[in-house]
Amino acid sequence: MTTDVLSYRQYAADCLRQAQEEVTPDGRTIMLNVALAWLRLAQQKETATERVPDRPLEAQAPVA
């Protein structure tokens, strides 16, 4: 897991904590939506990272 993904998840957790402290329903909804956006970004980054090979394609091909 990359540092970015961990940071995004931490931002989401921070938003959830702030949502619990919000006084108005609209404020809670906004913070929950922001938390969800951070979690989606973390998932997208994680998925993109999994698709990128660690080595260039030419280094993956067996040498004959």
How far is Cα 18 from Cα 55, in angstroms, rounded to an integer? 41
How far is Cα 58 from Cα 26, in angstroms, rounded to an integer? 53
| Structural domain of 47 | 3-60
Q: Which two tokens stand for residue 14?
A: 């921070």
What are the two backbone dihedrals, phi and then psi, of residue 53, each rounded to the nearest 5 degrees?
Answer: -70, 155
- Into how many domains does the chain fold? 1
How far is Cα 17 from Cα 44, in angstroms, rounded to an integer? 23
pTM of the model: 0.75
Q: Which two tokens stand for residue 46?
A: 């994680």
Q: What is the pLDDT of residues 6-57, one digit of tens each?
A: 999 999 999 999 999 999 999 999 999 999 999 999 999 999 887 766 555 5
CA proximity to 9, closest of 52, 50, 44, 58: 44
Residue 62: pLDDT band with limits 50, 70, 90? low
